[in-house]
Amino acid sequence: MIQQPPYSPGLNLAERVFEEVRRQVEGKIYSDLEAKKRAVEEVLKTLASYPNKVKRLTCWNWIMDAFQSLSNMTLP
């Protein structure tokens, strides 16, 4: 188990991706909600086409080390 503070949005991997989406979408005027949804979808498609960028956002060394230690564990 990896101990984290009770409230740690900075350590939440999804939050790091959401920050990237917000950075590109928020602060703009959209004609309607559908237009904003399309903008979000475009950002997500772009991120999906750049896996290394997603990896930089989400794969911190301590996380990768934790995953590695879990994969090395043997079950009884």
Model pLDDT, residue 9:
62
Per-residue confidence band for 73, with pLDDT thresholds at 50, 70 and 90: low
What is the spatial distance between Cα 48 and Cα 41, in angstroms, rounded to a whole number?
Answer: 10
pLDDT in tens, 35-53: 999 999 999 999 999 988 8
Flag whether pLDDT at 75 surpasses 80.
no
Domain ranges of the chain: 12-71
What is the spatial distance between Cα 28 and Cα 41, in angstroms, rounded to a whole number?
Answer: 15
